[in-house]
Chain A
């Protein structure tokens, strides 16, 4: 039974570019949440998708956007990249509209030069 899978594993971009990160939820899960984890910090909630809609957003600017597909997979898009966007981006999945527990993937390490 595959867990949460994320791609790519690592990504290097330059300031001003745009990036798309992808997530496939654990089998049986229908809800995807995205978190940003800066080095040495705990994950910070970006937003959550359920039934192909954004349910709630954390304290992140509109440069961060997402999408959920009918098969429950999800994308995180970040536009106009800043140096401060360098972080590990984590995807977590859960079932029945977000009920716990949430299961995390291994993340995408994004480096901005």
Chain B
């Protein structure tokens, strides 16, 4: 059974802290994604990666960075957390190049920044 896991289900951080959200997939997928999900706004793509050490900005990359040192692991980094980054963060992976390929999502991390 395919699996995408995220390091935490719930996280509470203070303004200004550096925050790491980790995502691991066991499907040998080339592509990995980070989204944030907010009420009324749906899912918005932050960053994606199509290969190890490769990354591309999505729709809302400001305030975030990512790291992909190994194929199975994709990290989202908030360099200095702010309250407007309080959100649900979802990681996903897919096999093929292009948005048409099925994405497999993790359970999400609900981040609260106080």
- A and B: bona fide binding partners: no
